[in-house]
Amino acid sequence: MKILDSRVEDKHIFLTVESNSEKFKEIYNRHFLDLSKRLNIPGFRKGKASLDVVLNYVKSRGALDSETNNAVFKVVSYYSGEINEFNEDWKDKIFGKQVDHSVKELDLGTWKLVYEATFEKVPEVTLADYQKISTLVEEKSLDELFWPVKKEGKPEAGDVAVIAMRAKNKEGESMPKYSYDFLEVDLSNSHLDSRILDAIKESKNEVELDNCKLEIRLLECVQKKAIDEQLIKDTPFPEKTTPEEVKKLIKNQFEMQNLSSRHREIVKWILSADNKLDPMPVETLRTETYKGFQMLRRRGNNNITFEDLMVENIKNLKLSCVLDAISKKENLSIQEGDQESFFKELDEKPWLYGYKSSEALFALPKEELDVHVLQFKTFKFLESKLFFSNRID
């Protein structure tokens, strides 16, 4: 296979490809021999006629041109996968599967096939596009543990409200930075502007701030129940459950949510204009993020959008590719004491790796353990660069 020419227009890449003549002949002949297994050719059992007989029979039925097109399509599909997976010049620029092709030259006498293949181009993703991703999940206090119970009616001062919030500036333009599909707000200790908290408690759908207007929709209200013996009696816990065991469970959940919140804020900051790291591997991050999406597209999953996948990756802490890319760009490496710091944090925060023990991780092959330690170090490097604020000014 040879790529004779290329051009890029708008959202597509067009490659002019010349097939290898032997591969074209092989796929073409195999197509017609496979076709003979489904044909009732007089004087022959299915699949037993020679290639010449099959070609003459198909031609007599007026189907030779259409079946030749089908054979050509199989050749094009074969090379599509090769370009998408293995061609170093194009595999990282092509997004998903080939979407179209047109034959430029076809000669069955010399087995020459030249065609133009159309691929989707990896979208140009600017940092501003990432601002559509909502990330604000306020950290939960570990000093005030409670059992959440869904509540009907208006939220009150001590409740937790789950809201959707849309922000618009004075010109009516959307402000994605302050817009959230799902925002959990503890009305007793939230850092949000008091005008927002009052609007939630008063069931107002809109609130005016100094520089924007917020549209608020209440999704759910949660009442905070004290974790005591009465809760144990009223809730179907396993027999002999103690309040202390429940508090430990809730604390672990809150810690995990707080970690998720911080991770999401870090990723959001990495991809924002506020990021002052220099240099920053924006192109690497963009390419790495799309690899997972490309894989889904190649497997035929066309239902999930890139934004959906990005949000899920952030929520589920699966953006190790981001940490890997940053560690390479910043030339971070494992130094003496890094592994000790990693295990110390793991002992203090066992939820970091799904409650795997230090012993279980230490037993990993050195290469796997080093990956965990370097990602941990990279995460700490990012934390050292950040200033967080959940306030809306």
Selection from 15, 30, 31, 16 nearest residue 105 by Cα: 16
Predicted pLDDT of residue 5: 92
| Rg value, the chain, Cα | 30
pLDDT of 285 over the 70 cut: no
Cα–Cα distance for residue pair 94/13, rounded to 1 Å: 7
- In sequence order, the β-bridge partners of residue 2 are 18
Predicted pLDDT of residue 274: 57
Residue pLDDT, tens place only, 105-122: 999 999 999 999 998 776
Predicted pLDDT of residue 126: 42
**The length of the chain, given as a count of residues:** 393
Tokens of 109: 């006498």
Predicted pLDDT of residue 383: 60
- In sequence order, the β-bridge partners of residue 165 are 180, 216
Choice between 161 and 385, residue whose per-residue pLDDT is larger:
161
Residue pLDDT, tens place only, 27-43: 999 999 998 898 888 88
Cα–Cα distance for residue pair 201/213, rounded to 1 Å: 17
- Cα atoms found within 13 Å of the Cα of residue 228, Cβ hemisphere only: 4
Predicted pLDDT of residue 24: 94
Domains and CATH numbers, the chain: 2-121 (3.30.70.1050), 128-241 (3.10.50.30), 242-393 (no CATH)
pLDDT of 163 over the 70 cut: yes
Cα–Cα distance for residue pair 50/11, rounded to 1 Å: 45
Cis omega (within 30 of 0) for bond into 279: yes
Total-model pTM = 0.40
Predicted pLDDT of residue 333: 92
pLDDT of 247 over the 80 cut: yes
Q: Which of 128-137, 191-200, 312-321 has the lowest mean pLDDT?
A: 128-137
**Beta-carbon count within 10 A of 346 CB:** 20
Selection from 385, 366, 368, 369 nearest residue 326 by Cα: 385
Residue pLDDT, tens place only, 205-231: 998 887 788 888 888 898 989 999 988
Type and span of the H or E element at 321? helix 320-329
Best-predicted range by mean pLDDT (36-40, 46-50, 67-71): 67-71
